[in-house]
A = this chain, B = another copy of it.
Amino acid sequence: MALKDVDIAQAHTLEPIGAIAQRAGIDPASLISYGTTKAKVDITTLASPSDPGKLVLVTGISPTPAGEGKSTVLIGLADAMSRLGKNAAAALREPSQGPVMGIKGGAAGGGYSQIVPMEEINLHFTGDFHAIAAATNTLSAIIDNHIHHGNELGIDPRRVTWQRCVDVNDRTLRNVITGLGGPAHGVPRETGFTITAASEIMAVLCLATDLADLKKRISQITIGFTYDQQPVTAGQLDAAGALTALMKEAINPNLVQTLGGTPAYVHGGPFANIAHGCNSLIATRVALQHAEIVLTEAGFGSDLGAEKFFDITAPFGDLTVNGAVIVATIRSLKYNGGQPRTDLTTKNLDALKPGVANLARHVSNVQQFGVSPVVALNLFDSDTAAEREFMRNWANDFQVPLVEAKVWSQGGAGAEELARVVLDNLGDHSAQLYDAAEGVEKSIETIARRIYRADKVQYSPKALKDLALIRDNGWDQLPVCISKTQYSFSDDPSALGAPSGHTLHVRELLPRTGAGFIVALTGNVMTMPGLPKTPAANTIDVAPDGRISGLF
């Protein structure tokens, strides 16, 4: 039986986090340790940046449902950079605990390209998600308490948009009625829970620049509307101070290590759809202050995570992206070329040939942001020599650097060539796609045409009402965070490959005035996953000595 990620991780001897911090250049006085192998970096004690490092964004092609190993490549690549003598760091999202109990297992890389201690990173970690849930649910309690005690602000219980959250995959909490039981127990209303990663507080955490900015953004969160349709903020409920106090530790980025001993900042994990899907800006900035080269990841492909990184995260944090890596797999290209997902390990050049158009589109998308990407071909055992040769020839013709990587089985040693090519392709410039000042409609149109290659954007009646509301409330110049299927450039998950000329359907627009963007929904967005019939939780176990088993 093949080794599982948890076996590889548990067989590894970790370095003390103090040694990792020293390697990362973090002053011991700024280190808040959580045990011997995890720490937070106290941002209130850090000096200002000087001579910042280079930033490489790792994105991917349109994935199969199994995922293409983007985090695993990032971690292997970071270790390869370290092996080449670079002072490298990784900046990654924190895993959500709900899916760990569901179908997905852990989310900390894989094989010999993992961040460790993987069990602790996957379960509770340093409590950031719990702090976000506490802040989210405290705000809900304050809202309902305000309504219960006379409702001075005139909040319409039917128009409270703020939802509670838990970090559990629990479909039963998607639609609930609260406040039942009579007058002593609050005012009944329909509402729902999201998973913690989908709370706006998570997006706020990931875009804030410091504690004061975090508090400002929290106070600007719109929690709903009054009976006369005026927005109500967390600030109006006097909740921002308490919520920020609950987030005081969570704002500090977490430091752990890769299996190769490279410092890894693992901090924040916003839903890659309803939010921007990148780790915290603070983590990336702390990494850039201390490392020569920083590898960070954006959720899904260039059309989603990368676009949001360039158009939301980078300008919010005044970041330049110096390089980009597009993670591709032969199986996913075959999937995009029409091979059924149940049969992706069979050699099939006939599917690979059309499928590669998907990769070409992602390359071209990244180039639009002023960055020259490198394609990392994440190898699997089932890839054939002919398929690999096809890919090399294609890259040659398409004039894009493509390098094979074997990170799952070899760790950093399997990505040294990739690291060299990435370093050779660094630039000094990156750009945004659109100017948010031109308004939400224009921003959506620009993304739809240039990144999704749609011909037109169609708004539902609800979305048109939302647009009017957004204009009326002065939110029209916020950047947009488009929520779209990750399986297609279009809003139709079955349109694989490189579709163009389609229509983007905007169904609803959600103001996220704390995070500072407008979410545009183009499909059904599930913000609370469910558990499968036989969840991973059934097999997770812990021995009397504390050793955990059953994580993937």
Contacts and interface: CB of A to CB of B under 8 A. Distances in A.
A544 B168 contact: no
Given A181-B174, A542-B248, A145 B535 contact: yes
A176 B170 contact: no
A177 B174 contact: no
Interface string A100-137: 01000000000000000001100110010011011001
6 residue pairs, one from A and one from B, having the closest CB atoms: A241-B541, A175-B181, A172-B186, A130-B130, A242-B537, A141-B170
Interface stretch (A29-37, A276-284, A338-346, A365-373): A29-37
B245 A538 contact: no
A214 B244 CA distance: 34
List the number of copies, as a whole number: 2
The A interface is mostly helix, strand or loop, or mixed, namely: mixed
Interface of A: 32-36, 42, 44, 97, 101, 119-120, 123-124, 127, 130-131, 133-134, 137-138, 140-142, 144-145, 148-150, 164, 166-181, 184-187, 190, 210-212, 215, 238-239, 241-242, 244-246, 248-249, 530-531, 533, 535-546, 548, 550
B169 A241 contact: no
Nearest to A179: B172
A140 B170 contact: yes
A181 to B, nearest CB: 4
Contacts of A249: 120, 124
A129 to B, nearest CB: 9
B178 A176 contact: yes
B546 A138 contact: no
Contacts of A120: 249
B149 A172 contact: no
B245 A142 contact: no
Contact of A127 (B101, B127, B533): B127
B131 A148 contact: no
A32 B36 CA distance: 7
